[in-house]
Amino acid sequence: MLKARTELQQYIASNAAIQQVRAQRQKWPLKGAKPPTRGIVIPSGGAVLVTNAYIALRVLRDVLNCTLPIELVYNGAHEIDNVTKAYLEDRFRNLDVVDAALLPYPAHHRTTKLSRFLFKAYAFYQSSFDQILLLDSDGLPFRDPEYLFEAKAFRESGNLFVPDFWKSRFPRDAYELFGLPVPEPGANFDYTTESGMVLFDKQRYPDIAEWIWFLNSYGPDGIYRYMWGDKDTFQLAFSLADEANSFRQVLGKPREALSANRDNRVAYPHVGMVHSDPDGNILLLHRTNRGKFNPSSPGYLAVDYITMPMCEARSENLQHGPGDGGFGFFEEHVELDTAKNCLFKHGDTFHTDCNLDVENPALPVPVVPIAKFGRDVNRVLRVSYVAFEEIKADIAAEKILVGACKEYDLIGDRTQCTR
């Protein structure tokens, strides 16, 4: 891997690569030049991811009226067959369903199987867009994300990432492997990175895009031994390109999305992370754990509550559920009275209006009923539940995913089906 790093450095410094970079950078922002292409990239494939991607597309196009072009990227006909491709492209305007297996592979990079986490990085790397919003299939935007490309944070830095729950789990060993200084939290980032949503300008940072795919091409055999999947490779790529200070992260802490559907493990099961934009407005629900839409049983758990922004110490309590896959909060860890008794304008401003300290590690955690986040957020959620029933019925009726995998092993090799 270290030898390959030197080879990639030589390629980036070569005349061919330099000419390619110059050609990209000359497009913009010269006066009168053609603006950069912008679009959303959604990696997908197989029944679970296609189901979640369909729901995200329904919300983006039919609720949020988002007009950005979208690339839905998959890896071979076993993941999305021609019937499914036509079904999706007919249903949603300005959508290109792209088979990454048919794209020319970059000769200067290591060949690898496109499995699990690294496929998302490959979809990012191969995208035709200059400026990319990379969105996980199970990401559910609460507002049209196009405005993010004009946000001050993105215009100044050319990239914008969202934080994970964890600060102490920064992959220091990965930086030491390459002899790089370990970045310290500060004005540009605070927590480790969550890659469920990534905003990135490939025109501005073509070399960083190369480093991102370099790292992920060695994923399961190398860099993933030092971190959890692809998510922290993005920031490491900035350091490899000598651009560590250019990395930008939304500094607002994520919130927890919880269900009130008590089970025999926890009183309030965790169903996702809620990310905010740079101004503190909730932007995205990244469904995780039992919040994911699954066309086979058990389906999904609805969002009933959203916590105030969570510091790491409070989030650690998610790990304290009982065995048998428990992931969520016990009843004594959740506090409902503050939302009942405090006057606040909106769920977004609950913690500021009610003078709550987001750095407070103590339990219980104040939570807000989902209804307090307003009509628009609740409409997104309602349509997502309706869309799930739509796609589930069409899968059962074999209108979609006829010749593709109904399921595949998400942890293993994406080239193998589990029927």
User: Where do the domains of the chain lie?
Assistant: 2-246, 255-375
Strand residues in 153-303 grouped as ranges (E): 159-163, 193-201, 255-258, 268-276, 282-287
Q: Which residues contact 236 (CB under 8 A, 6 or more apart)?
A: 171, 174, 175, 178, 180, 211, 215, 223
What confidence score (pLDDT) does residue 296 get?
82
Token match 């980036």: residue?
A: 12
Bridge partner residues of 43 (DSSP): 73
Q: Which residues of the chain have pLDDT under 70?
A: 1-2, 4-5, 8, 12, 16-34, 264, 297-298, 318-326, 404-419
Spatial distance between the Cα atoms of 81 and 96, rounded to a whole number of angstroms: 14
Q: Is 354 in contact with 366 (CB distance < 8 Å)? A: yes
Report the topology of domain 2-246: Spore Coat Polysaccharide Biosynthesis Protein SpsA; Chain A (3.90.550)
d(CA 106, CA 279): 38
Pair 149, 204: CB distance under 8 Å:
no
**How do beta strands 365-369 and 334-335 pair?**
parallel
Instruction: State the helix-helix crossing angle for 233-240 and 206-217, rounded to 10 degrees.
Output: 120
pLDDT of residue 266: 81
**pLDDT score at 169:** 84
Beta-ladder partners of 141: 284
Quote the tokens at residue 36.
Answer: 């950069």
Which run of H or of E encompasses 70?
strand 70-74
Amino acid at 174: A
Average per-residue pLDDT for the chain:
88
Alpha-carbon distance of 15 to 12, in angstroms, equals 8
What's the confidence (pLDDT) of residue 186? 85
Summarised one tens digit per residue, pLDDT across range 234-260 is 999 999 999 999 999 999 899 999 999
Per-residue pLDDT tens for 34-65? 688 999 999 999 999 999 999 999 999 999 99
Which residue, among 345, 373, 386, has the nearest Cα to 285 in the 3D structure? 373
Name, in order, each residue with C-beta under 8 angstroms of 148's C-beta and a sequence gap of 6 or more: 133, 154, 160, 199, 277
Contact 249, 278 (CB under 8 A): no
CA 232 – CA 229 distance, rounded (Å): 7
Alpha helices in 354-373 (DSSP H): none
